[in-house]
Homo-oligomer: A and B are copies of this chain.
Amino acid sequence: MSDIVFRSDMTADLVRCAARDSDVIFAARVSTQGEQSLAAAGTEATERDRGLIRFLMRDRHGSPFEHNSFTFFVEAPIFVFREFMRHRIASYNEESGRYREMRPVFYTPSRERNLVQVGKPGAYEFRPGTDEQHEIVEREIRETATAAFESYQRMLESGVAREVARAVLPLNLYSSMYVTMNARSLMNFLSLRTKREDAAFPSFPQREIEMVAEKMETAFAEAMPLTYDAFNAGGRIAP
């Protein structure tokens, strides 16, 4: 099975972006300016719009952050997709194990990934694994994934349907999807899927989904710098 691939990274490419800070402005200004708000907003948000955006975030006027749209192409292991799709205010289309033969690409943690969990539920901490632990993980994952994929192939070759054969594939198999969400949903996602230890409302995401979230955050910061700034200023709680 020479073509089995093991990866330790995630993909989250912004493939379509219809999102600017000025979208927040025109939507918010309709409250006070009605039909003139679009003209008032212009196409680029200015520095003096910064205050308005911070005010909206603080007072949790969430709806002005919804008139925009980000579409990402994401590649990540299935256990990440399982967490991702719990977020209900987004649109998903994923590669299908019913319609397609899955490709043998599997996740294995890099050396930077902490392997040891200490503490109690709600206050877990992660620490680096030893060399031996990294070797064990590497070996177990490679051997199990390889054996599982060979089993999958044997079932397919015997004429068994893809949707049945896929039952043996492990949770570290990579899948791919498009996900579309607006800035408000994206901020909610980031607030829960990036680590905030000392906050009033802390979050402790699994590292692998955080790796995806970090890439999405970079794209968000670039597309909507004033909104991103207000999100951070407000403690990274979505409005």
Contact = CB atoms under 8 A, between A and B. Distances in A.
Interface of A: 15-16, 18, 23, 26-28, 30-35, 37-38, 55, 58-60, 63-64, 66-69, 71, 73, 75, 77-79, 81-82, 85-86, 88-89, 91-100, 103, 107-109, 113-117, 121-122, 126, 129, 132-133, 136-137, 140-141, 143-145, 147-148, 151, 154-155, 158-172, 175-178, 180, 182, 191-192, 200-204, 206, 234-235, 237
B161 A115 contact: yes
Given A68-B69, A144-B147, A129 B160 contact: yes
A27 B155 contact: no
A186 to B, nearest CB: 13
Contact of A177 (B30, B147, B160): B30
A159 B192 contact: no
A164 B237 contact: no
Contacts of A58: 201-202
A59 B164 contact: no
A77 B64 CA distance: 22
Given A66-B180, A201-B59, A79 B237 contact: no
24 contacts: A18-B18, A30-B94, A31-B93, A31-B94, A31-B100, A32-B96, A35-B176, A59-B202, A59-B203, A64-B93, A67-B91, A68-B69, A69-B182, A114-B161, A116-B159, A116-B160, A117-B161, A117-B162, A133-B158, A137-B155, A137-B164, A148-B170, A168-B171, A201-B237
B28 A93 contact: yes
Contacts of A28: 93
B163 A67 contact: no
Nearest to A60: B201
- Among the interface residues A99, A180, A202, which one has the most CB atoms of the partner chain B within 10 A? A180
